[in-house]
Amino acid sequence: MNFVPHTDSERKDMLAKIGISSTEELFKDIPNRVRLERELDLPPGLDEFSLRKEVTSLSQENAHIDEYVSFLGAGAYEHFRPAVIDHLLLRSEFYTAYTPYQPEISQGTLQAIFEFQTGICELTGMDVANASMYDGASAMAEAIIMATTQTRKNKVLISSTVHPEYREVVKTYAWGRGIEILESPYKEGLTDLESLATNLSENIGAVVIQNPNFFGGIEDVKKIVELAQGYKAMVIVCVDPISLGVLEAPGKLGVDIVIGEGQSLGIPLSFGGPYLGFIATKEKYVRRLPGRIVGIARDRRGNEGFVLTLQAREQHIRREKASSNICSNQALCALAATIYLSTLGKKGIKEVAEQCLYKTHYAKGVLGEIPGVEIAFPANKTFKEFVVKSKEKINTINKRLFKAGIIGGLDLGKFYKELENHMLICVTETRSKREIDLLKRVWEGEK
């Protein structure tokens, strides 16, 4: 049991036991120039009742999807969450559980992780998945490390249609590993295949794409795989797991590693996290996978049990042999995703994906009728997101929408200079025809 001293006498006794006379001596090695030298600028303490009122007041300053209609996506999406998810997550044996350091007595936790891995494998068409990553961006970076280690080539070609923030995270990871990241341009909202073919060489260890890409466009994954295989480069594809309800599983198209963000699978937006990433690959690359892999084993009596089959992180094995330094797994978020997949099943995932597809198609038609607005890449097949070009400034449009209780789309000019006055619109199954029609009316300036 931890002992916290409450009186001056107790504090003096504790200080005496460690051979000092004052608390100040604990910090004597910290230079004065970096010390605050004043009290923290904090308000006085509050009683419980007053604190609740204060926190509630502060929270009401946020705009959230319970009060606003959202058409903002770009990596974090509003989907319907069955009530059963939170009912199960709030069981104490789940929400207090951490990573299974003693797997032999963590059968429930291990089974939940095993079921998560199984669901991801079935969605992606891959042989094996690991216990969850931090998020989609770090999963992409870890996949690149896997691929360059496997191919022993330190150059990676990544499409500029990959999420811009994912690319920034990748560059951060790659810098410390001496991996060179080369970007391949896009054309009409899709990876430019001619440029990709030109930039490919024997020195490229991996090709990275996103499908559906950041603009919502459906890439020609099969063609990209064929191009990469011609130079013995591995192919990494970042996917939206919901899209796999209608799109072919990447594993069936010859992809080597599939990664993605699992937030769409029953995890609330939560103002940006916590989320979870997933990574799945072919069986022959299993020892390159970072994190943990849960499997089923039999004891000498023939009884089955869940075990940590592989633990390739440096906390479990020698650092020089480790494939990653993932210090935690997103077990609670992974459990939410597992419950979501189990609740909806194959038919349910397909229905959600189809509704996203149909409603996106309807929204494209409706917004395309607005004077001064056009669909940016009209020839592309898209899923859940699409780009519109407007003569009016995006910031002005979004301010008007916000006043009407609508969270507009992403201003793409912040990430792509050439896409000034372009907006990325997201439409999921949670949007209704009435809400899409309302978006059009407010956009046009109707009260």
Tell me: do 350 and 302 sit in the same domain: no
Tell me: do 230 and 110 sit in the same domain: yes
Evaluate whether residue 44 is within a structural domain: no
Evaluate whether residue 17 is within a structural domain: no
Evaluate whether residue 211 is within a structural domain: yes
Residue finishing a domain among 310, 340, 370: 340
Digit-by-digit pLDDT tens for the chain (447 residues) are: 455 556 778 888 888 888 888 888 888 889 989 988 888 898 888 999 999 999 999 988 888 888 999 999 999 999 999 999 999 998 888 877 666 666 667 888 889 889 999 999 999 999 999 887 889 999 999 999 999 999 999 999 999 999 999 999 999 999 989 999 999 999 999 999 999 999 999 999 999 999 999 999 999 999 999 999 999 999 999 999 999 999 999 999 999 999 999 999 999 999 888 899 999 999 999 988 887 888 898 889 998 988 888 765 555 556 666 666 666 667 889 999 999 999 999 999 999 999 999 999 999 999 999 999 999 999 999 999 999 999 999 999 999 999 999 999 999 999 999 999 999 999 999 999 999 999 999 999 864
Evaluate whether residue 379 is within a structural domain: yes
Tell me: do 316 and 369 sit in the same domain: no
Evaluate whether residue 252 is within a structural domain: yes
Tell me: do 306 and 374 sit in the same domain: no
Evaluate whether residue 23 is within a structural domain: no
Instruction: Report the CATH number that the domain containing residue 352 is assigned in CATH.
Output: 3.90.1150.10
Tell me: do 245 and 305 sit in the same domain: yes
* Predicted pLDDT of residue 172: 95
Q: Which domain holds residue 374?
A: 69-81+346-443
Instruction: Please write down the HEC assignment for all residues of the chain.
Output: CCCCCCCHHHHHHHHHHCCCCCHHHHHCCCCHHHCCCCCCCCCCCCCHHHHHHHHHHHHCCCCCCCCCEECCCCCCCCCCCCCHHHHHHCCHHHHCCCCCCCHHHCHHHHHHHHHHHHHHHHHHCCCEECCCECCHHHHHHHHHHHHHHHHCCCEEEEECCCCHHHHHHHHHHHHHHCCEEEEECEECCEECHHHHHHHCCCCEEEEEEEECCCCCECCCHHHHHHHHHCCCCEEEEEECHHHHHCCCCHHHHCCCEEEEECCCCCCCCHHHCCCCEEEEECHHHHHHCCCEEEEEEECCCCCEEEEEEEECECCCCCHHHCCECCCCCCHHHHHHHHHHHHHHHHHHHHHHHHHHHHHHHHHHHHHCCCCCEEECCCCCCECCEEEEEECCCHHHHHHHHHHCCEECCEEHHHCCHHHCCEEEEECCCCCCHHHHHHHHHHHCCCC
The domain tally of the chain equals 2
Tell me: do 128 and 105 sit in the same domain: yes
Tell me: do 333 and 224 sit in the same domain: yes
* Predicted pLDDT of residue 1: 43
Evaluate whether residue 10 is within a structural domain: no
Tell me: do 294 and 390 sit in the same domain: no
Evaluate whether residue 30 is within a structural domain: no
Instruction: Report the CATH number that the domain containing residue 310 is assigned in CATH.
Output: 3.40.640.10
Tell me: do 273 and 326 sit in the same domain: yes
Residue finishing a domain among 300, 323, 340: 340
